[in-house]
Structures are given as structure tokens and as C-alpha cells.
Structure 1
């Protein structure tokens, strides 16, 4: 488990491809690897990876399977690409963000960036099927960083997050431009609640569902709109 509080920025120092597998060597900031062991978990841009080898006190290797390369942004990275990193949470540690699994749900694109005085606003375009889990003031993890959703536009399929200077300093978000892809992990308790409500509605309404869907369609809505 991770807390969503990014502990530093690493860079890809080496990359080796084999059939169905890519090995990444990451160069870490000072002291990040203190106590790190083979088999430990590290979130790399939000993706939970396992340490497979250590190189002194500054670097480590990770094997990334093809499925992870396909469904996250890791498959598009090149040498020297910078990534957010976080060590696995320890028992009793303060959770400054929200609990993360390190399992990415989908990738999304930066639609717009606005730079304001002491604030940095990122608008993110979301595949419509995931919008039901995204609410203003709710949590979301973007490239492994726990962030609060500032605004959601379900008609245009986007949400925004506002970043303070300290977040920009400790993460890779200042590197991102419009069109960049981001790893998104939705907040699990929100997903459970939304999916449970949807299942209960479908089970309780049963035969009435077609009539309800037809009625909502006349108003350009759907049952999913009631939940979201």
C-alpha cells in the first residue's frame, strides 16, 4: 500500500527489453534507497513495481510485465524520463494523502494547463465510463500523487486539480504539457459505493429498469447519471 505522498523524483537510467518484459533501472534522489531491499515495493508514477536488483545506494532495477506496459504510461517512457516515486507505506506511518494500491485503472490526457499566481491548474480529459467515480472534493491519484479534485465537468468529460508550489517541486507535474498521458487510480471506497448503489438499483428495480431507462432517455439522461 502507498499513501499518495510522492517522496521524490527518479529518472530512467537504463532500459532492457525481453519478450513480454521490460527491465527499468531507476536512479533515485539521495537517501531514497536507504533500507530498500530486493522484493520491496516502490510506486513508479503510481504503478506498484518490485525491486529485483540494487545498484549501490542510488539505483535499483524493476521488471515490468507486458500488461503493465500496455495499460499504463510506463510503456512510452524513454531513457532519462523523470518519474514520481514513493516507497511502500510502513505500519503506523502517517497517511498524508489517501490509501493507494498502485494498480492503475486507466490513463488520461492533460487537456489544459493554467498557471496562476502560486497555483498550477491541470485539466484532465477522462474516458466517459470512468466519470461516475470522480467527484468534486473527492480524492484521486495521478501518477501516484494523492490529489483533491477541484472541479468536474461530466458533460465535457474532464476534471481539474490545483497544485501548490511544493507539489510541483516534489513531483514531475511541471514537466507535463497538454496532450501528455497520466496514470489514474480512482479512490477505492468511492468505486465500491458507486458500484454497490448501481447493483442495488438494478436488482431492486428489475423489470422496471427498461421503463426507467426509456423515461430518462427522453430527458437525455441514463441510470448512470442518477448514480454519478
Structure 2
């Protein structure tokens, strides 16, 4: 599990293709290396990946085709910066909201509005079916960052970014048409699915009752 609080930014140093998979090599800052072991789970732009190799500050991850197709990691180039969060410990403060590292879709930046101490960013989701799980003032994970939805429309959503978020994450480097990873808040998703299931069963029950009475 993760908290949506980015702990550092890593640079893509190398990308190697091995059969149908790719090995991504990242340069980690020292603060992210303490206690890092092979097999550890690390969120890269919000996507949970497994550490496959560690050599000094160089940390490697293996990405399969499904991950490359579903996330923005398949579009990374050498020199790009990636948001990094180590897996949460039981003693950690939950500064954002609990996240699984499972990306459900991507979104592209459709509009950016700058003002004093605030950047308003609008995103258009690739999979519009996910919009029913996105609520005004609800949680959402964008490239691994726990954010609050400030506005929604039929195709996507808007968030407001403060200077600290822009400084500590890669979102400050993003421009129009750039792609980001989206993780839906699992609790919101569970509640909506439960309500939908209940309403569906209720409608079936009422239809059956009216048909045979």
C-alpha cells in the first residue's frame, strides 16, 4: 500500500528490452535507498513495481506489456523524471489517502490555468466509464500523488496544485497533452458498486413481483 505522498523524483537512466518485457533503470536519490531490497514494492508514477536490481543509486524494474499499455510508463524516455514512493509501513503517517498502486486508466492534460500560489490543471480521462467513481472533493491518485478533486465535468476532472506539490513532484513539469496515470479511490469505488448492485437487485425484485402478480 501507498499513501500518495511522493518521497522523491527519480531520473530514467536506461531502458532495455528483454523479450516482451522492458527493464527500466532509475537513478534514486540517497533518501530513497535506505532499507531498499530486491523484491520491494515501489510506486513509479503511482504504478506499483517490483525492484529487480540495485547497484549503488541505480534501481531497476521490469515492466510487462500490460503495464506499458495501461500506464504512462510506456512513454517514458531516458532523462524523464518519475514520481517515487516506497511502500508504506504500519507506523507511517497517512498524509494523503491509502492507494494500492493499481492504475485503472490514464488521462491527458487538457487545460492549465496559473495564478498566484496555485495551478489549476484539467484532465480528460481515456476511460470515461471511470468518471462515475470520481466525486467533487473526493480523493484521486494522479501519477501517484494523492489529490482532491476540485471540479468535474463529463470527460474529466480538475485539481488545484500548490507550490509545494509542484516543487516535490513531476506535475510541475507537465504541459498540455501530457499523459498521467489515474488511480481511483478504492473506498469510493466499493461504495458506488455496492449501491449499484443493491439498486439492480431491487429493480429485479420489483420487476419480478409486478410480472407475477
- TM bucket normalised to smaller: over 0.9
Structure 1 gap segments, 5+ residues each? 210-228
Q: TM-score, normalised by structure 2?
A: 0.94
Figure out how many residues of one structure are paired with residues of the other and give that number: 206
**1:61 equivalent in structure 2:** 60
Is residue 120 of structure 1 aligned with residue 119 of structure 2?
yes
2:192 corresponds to which of 191, 194, 213? 194
Q: Distance in 2 between matches of 1:196 and 1:17?
A: 42
**1:99 equivalent in structure 2:** 98
User: Is the Cα contact below 8 Å between 1:142 and 1:185 reproduced in 2?
Assistant: yes
User: How far is 1:208 from its partner?
Assistant: 6.0
User: How far is 1:97 from its partner?
Assistant: 0.4
Q: TM-score, normalised by structure 1?
A: 0.88
User: How far is 1:128 from its partner?
Assistant: 2.3
**2:42 equivalent in structure 1:** 42
The superposition leaves residues 154-186 of structure 1 with CA deviations (integer Å, 9 ceiling, x where unpaired) of 3xx221100100000000011111111110000
SS of 2:30's partner is coil
Q: Distance in 1 between matches of 2:190 and 2:122?
A: 25
Q: Distance in 2 between matches of 1:87 and 1:130?
A: 26
**2:5 equivalent in structure 1:** 5
User: Is the Cα contact below 8 Å between 1:48 and 1:102 reproduced in 2?
Assistant: yes
Q: 1:12-161 alignment to 2 at 5 Å?
A: 12-56=12-56, 58-126=57-125, 127-154=127-154, 157-161=155-159
Q: Distance in 1 between matches of 2:171 and 2:93?
A: 24
SS of 1:52's partner is strand
CA RMSD, Structure 1 to Structure 2 (Å): 1.2
